[in-house]
Structure 1
């Protein structure tokens, strides 16, 4: 075959291929999207692009350029929250350092402000008013009357005064008196009178202004073994750890009456006895530590009035100190319970001063424990329930102020 024929055949084949390709492009090939893709930033294969903190994209999109309103958001396990912000459970009702907070019959609570040296009341509506214009600098302890607007105020140098917030009057009490407690009527107080010599150390009962003083029991060298705490029932004025030593981790505790009564004793299963009376004075909540549980505190409950003294003794299965607890009524107790406790914490309670607490309610009859919802991290110093039983107040060892939790 000559070269000219080969050239014509090759040209024909090329033209046929070209024509066929053109027909395919026009009638059969899919259309390409010429829209420039929106820049969503760099993303890794297999992952969704960044949400950019929930802000709507400024590139592309339709409508007004903003997402529809979300209305309200229901927090997990909580109520409806506006804008997705969780409503706090624990409220700091007072921001400044406070001490000696207590329930108040005329409001919610009253307390001493450590910064300005004044006493205040939190009213039922949440407002705060001063109990007095008088300033009491550097107060070390306050014992409130359960029946009147009165208190025994103690200072670091040993000075003591009785003060009436109703009449704005004060009376100086002897400096050798200490560890005060009111009876439920507010008419009398019990205290330790600590003289220089052991024979001049007595447990005494007096009116709050110190006008009529009655020695009750000699303390001698055992003053540090006596817990002054007038029971709400009125029959016991103090507890004395001077009973028989039963064993290394068991001791007999004597109940002291105002008129020399010969009460039954109670037995506690450990050392470092700390106590709280039930509101009716029928039971005694207490904590002790022993080798049995690694020298960490344990809570117990026991009958402590009349013929029931020593009866119904029960280990509650809670590791905390009684002074981190409060009675809501004669049956239920609220406590701050450390999340962890080191072995030997009973010897050195300060080891738990930075440990967060869970707040729980304990049924002292059944032993049932119920956690109380809180938020944040708190280490309870002391706590109380206000008079209507709807709010739990507490102070925190790691944060200034007074805190509240709805019940």
Structure 2
């Protein structure tokens, strides 16, 4: 093999490994956690399996089932780890034998059958703080980088790194097993699980960094897990509310990108391309939430906002007054500067840009580093005819965003100002 051929093979293998990991990471780690009963070890041996793939695939080729290959290698690495640690006692000997067994346990209708969702529940164990649970699960299950998680939380990267390290140590110190909580413990962990799935979906809906504006694989996986969760907790309104929010938002995916993968903003989307099946799914889930008679929580309120967009024939015919009211209600039960920023957008459409600009200016430094703040402010200033100020805000937004496609949108707007 020539040097050029070897280099090409290595590059091809690296692309294959990256693709498999992006798609299968959560399932690989979940499978390894199930057999090792050790969250941190599972992630470590998964990384070792990736390293072996990068080493061997250039010469052997990508296996027919790369995900299964990585799991098998991870299992062998786990056994090696136990042997090196001189802990091959009876317990580990039994586990090692189980690694090669193909017999699955009998089906339990009350158990969580989805390994990835099991992993989410384990990471959201009550022994961890809510912030630590969410950060750890987004990293391991969602495959998000610490930088992406930091943007989702609007906190420094170092803070996220500390939370993840501390969470792993806490799980190990508490000897938390990889097991499904009984149904009566679901409510105690439900809030954190819902938060994790929501943030994973959002990262897919509008990627915080990278070359792609959307990561639909993340969003679709989050929606799938949310539907499983709603089936496990049918009496929890917010489980249905989250499904509704995700489905109604994902319905617009087919119209959010052009042929080059560049963003198409809501006002310019071809609404005939929206997925009517997902709209129906979302509206049914919202109806299921309302039928429980316990009021709408934050996810259901956001779903109602998404529903307003999905049923409107055009941007001008959207019920912006209702959306503004829904954001006001959302701000009362789940106050957030991002909610206020979104309310300002709705107010600008319902009442005009001047009123909305006052709302944005009141946010002060609470959204420092958030690209959408100067982006929204720029749009309001443009509508008020303050072009020079708008240009300065667009330049701020372009500098702040970590997503290449979003930056291109801001730069095009700057260029359009002449």
TM class by shorter chain equals under 0.3
Bigger helix fraction: 2
When Rg is computed on C-alpha atoms for both structures, the one with the higher figure is: 1
What's the TM-score once normalised by structure 1's chain length? 0.26
What's the TM-score once normalised by structure 2's chain length? 0.25
Bigger strand fraction: 1
Q: Which fold has the larger relative contact order, with Cα–Cα distance below 8 Å and residues 6 or more apart in sequence?
A: 2
